Amino acid sequence: MLNGIKYRVLVIGLIIGTLSVVPTSSRCEVLVLDRVTTVDTPVRITVLTKGRFFSEGGRRVDIYLDGDHLKKILTGGDGYGYLKYTPQSAGFKYVTARSKSDKNGGLILVMEKNEKAILIEIEGAFKYALMSENIRKNSQQAVKTLSKTYKIIYLSKYVGKGISKEWLDKEQFPETVILRWRGPRMLAALKDKGVQLHAVIGSAALISAAENYIENRYTFEESKKAITVNDWDEILKLLQ
């Protein structure tokens, strides 16, 4: 069993390695964070403006939702800017941010209050898929099947949204939001917005942190806080 540090290095290296054949886009200097909420529940559209190496505040950013201009905002000294938005309908809302010549996009997943979500940690749930083509295809099909019944929310613990999205797109996993894992407080915030957290799939460490928030917990590692599974077919049987 790999220890924590070696495991993180291996996962990050494998993900970056799989992207070596993907054309690299120019570095964006305005970033849009993905968000999740429910119908009629306010959410903050969040953008970050960056210079060459560090955050760059005091920049004006035009925010568009599904192609329609919402508002021009000004980022603060830390580079972050916010805009309150209350969705009236469920589905994916596409956010675009423009600042000078820079442009980037993000997603807001708006759920009905009776819909259920499954959280999947990219590094923990897909680590074997990174090393095996057969397992990768199996996980792709499993996630696609689950997405017909549940809303999928990806969690990125180490590599961040940009690299995670490129890898997920390259491997043709279902498109949805990618949230940066920030511990149990993230789960509490989602529940406060009315999001039903039905299940989580990931590493033993993340599963342990979710113990008080999500009843159905699955991992491919040894854990006393979750059901340890051998493959994605087993997860499908448990969730269908």
Fold designation for 30-111: Immunoglobulin-like (2.60.40)
- Domains of the chain, by residue range, sit at 4-20+112-239, 30-111
Q: Which CATH class is domain 4-20+112-239?
A: alpha beta
DSSP 97-150: EEETTEEEEEEEEEE-TT-EEEEEEHHHHSTTTTT-HHHHHHHHHHHHHHTTTS
Which residue numbers in the chain have pLDDT < 70? 1-28, 129-132, 134
- pLDDT value at residue 186: 97
To the nearest 5 percent, what fractions of the chain are helix, strand and coil? 30, 35, 40
Alpha-carbon distances, residue 140 vs 25, 70, 169, 175 (angstroms): 25, 35, 11, 11
- pLDDT value at residue 60: 95
**Nearest of 205, 187, 185, 204 to residue 196 by alpha carbon:** 187
End-to-end C-alpha distance for the chain, whole angstroms: 30
At 188, is the secondary structure helix, strand, or coil? helix
- pLDDT value at residue 32: 97
Predicted TM-score (pTM) of the model is 0.88
